[in-house]
Copies of this chain bind each other. A is one copy, B any other.
């Protein structure tokens, strides 16, 4: 059921089999599998998964390629509710490993917020990442285009950029090195923007020049365009650079601070997992963008299935088989 400030008392004294932090594609898929394994689960979601911002999912098998990310999430939430999963809109502040259980401390509500603690045997970290965006004075201007023709994922949207004049919005020299030359697979008409936020080495300047990619280091005033279609960039000096599309590559914020008290193996910022998405802690699983792997909606959905299945195997083995006679109260 949908939990809120009003009814959460009903659940504070139970121990869930699994608490899932994050109600995006990974968390919802895990929840659906867990409930269908007849395990109890609670999804705690603070809203606005990364896929929530995607105007069109172009590569998710089974959905028409113009399906908005929020449609997938809404369908998943209904699906999860149909198998009696518990869902709470809240922010997870901290997870404490109590040995047999986890205590999950949450803050509920932005106004007159209250705190509460839920408990579970297993934890699935499915809280994902969110992309850093160009820090303009008027962020509304960025939101007008991000997720439309101003992209954040080359694997997802490179195809849409094919042979278009593309602005590459870099957060560091490393992001230029990692991404620009791969982006040229889709389009070689790349202009690199630093927004004046970092210095570019002589080596990189030369490399960009050799490839014919202009480098713009002046700060950006605003994106230009209309009806969510970005058509260029206006710099603070008033000059305008025309573009047909853009790729933002300024790093990501990882939603994982609630795990800080638990010593989990990381590779860079990503949690290391085995092939069933188990982290270095035997009762904590990580799925989707938080873990090492490819950041794709369908991968997150699959991760949810894997983590849920492994948790079911663990719990099933610990409880053993049921005998026919155990349930004579049922009329068979």
Contact = CB atoms under 8 A, between A and B. Distances in A.
Interface of A: 25, 28-29, 32-33, 36-38, 58-65, 67, 72, 75-76, 79, 82-83, 155, 158-159, 162-163, 165, 180-182, 184-186, 188-190, 210-213, 275, 293-294, 296, 298-299, 301-306, 309, 312, 316, 319-327, 330, 332
B36 A61 contact: no
A75 B59 contact: no
Contact of A304 (B61, B190, B306, B322): B61
Given A82-B65, A305-B296, A37 B324 contact: no
A96 B264 CA distance: 45
Contacts of A316: 182, 185
A19 to B, nearest CB: 19
A79 B303 CA distance: 23
Contacts of A301: 61-62, 298, 301-302
Contact of A37 (B158, B306, B322, B332): B158
A185 B324 CA distance: 11
A246 B283 CA distance: 33
- When all copies of this chain in the complex are counted, the total is 2
A38 B159 contact: yes
B163 A330 contact: yes
A255 to B, nearest CB: 20
Contact of A322 (B67, B165, B188): B188
Given A163-B327, A188-B326, A190-B324, 8 more contacts: A36-B158, A38-B185, A62-B72, A62-B75, A62-B301, A211-B324, A212-B325, A302-B302
Contacts of A275: 275, 293
A185 B309 CA distance: 13
A26 to B, nearest CB: 9
> Lowest 5 A-B CB distances belong to which pairs?
A212-B324, A302-B302, A181-B321, A188-B322, A36-B159
A65 B77 CA distance: 12
7 contacts: A37-B158, A38-B186, A63-B63, A181-B320, A185-B312, A298-B305, A301-B301
A305 B309 contact: no
Contact of A323 (B60, B62, B210): B210
